[in-house]
Chain A
Amino acid sequence: MRMPRLTAFLTATAVFVSAFTLAAQAAEEVHVLNWKGYGADEPWAVANFEKATGYKVVNDFFNSEQEMLTKIRTNPGLYDVVMINAAFNDQAMAGKLIQPIDVSKLSNYADIAKDKAGSPMLNHDGKVYGVPWVWGLTALAINDKSFDKPPTSIAEMWDPAHKGRVIIRDDAVEAVQFGALASGQNINDIKDMEAVKAKLTSLMPQIKTFWSSENDWNQMVASNQIDIGTYWSGSADRAKTHFKLPVSLVIPQEGSVAWLDAFSIPVDSKNVAGAEAFINYMIDPKFYVEWVTKVGAPVSANTKAVDALPEDAFNRKVMGSPDVAKRIQFQAPITDEQREKYLALWQELKVNVK
Chain B
Amino acid sequence: MNSVQGAAPTSDLTSASYHDDHLLHRLYALQQQFQHIPASSIGALAAELCLPLAQVEAVIDFYSFFHRTARGRVDLLFSNCTSCGDLSLMHDLCQRLGVVPEQTRADGAVSIGEASCIGMCDQGPALLANGRTLTQLTPLRLEQIAERIEASTPIEQWPAEWFHVHDNVRKNGLLLGTTFSTGSALVAALEKGAQTMLDEIIASGLRGRGGAGFSTGMKWKFCREATGDAHYVVCNADEGEPGTFKDRILLSSHAHAVFEGMTLCGYVIGAKKGYMYLRGEYRYMLPELLAVLERRRKLKLLGTAILGQSDFDFEIEIIVGAGAYICGEESALIESMEQKGGVPRVRPPFPVTQGFLAQPTVVNNVETLAAAAHIAVHGGGWFNAHGSDKSDGSKILSVSGDCTTPGVYEYPFGTSIQRILDDCGAEHVQAIQVGGPSGTLIAPAEFERKLAFEDLATGGSFMIYGAQRDLLHVIQNFAHFFAHESCGFCTPCRVGTTLLKNGVDKIATGHGTQYDVDELRRMAALVKRRSHCGLGQTAPNPILDLLQRFPQAFEDRLVHSDFEPHFDLDKSLQEARRLTHRDDAEAHL
* A and B pair up: no
Which residues of A approach B to under 8 Å, CB–CB? Answer: none
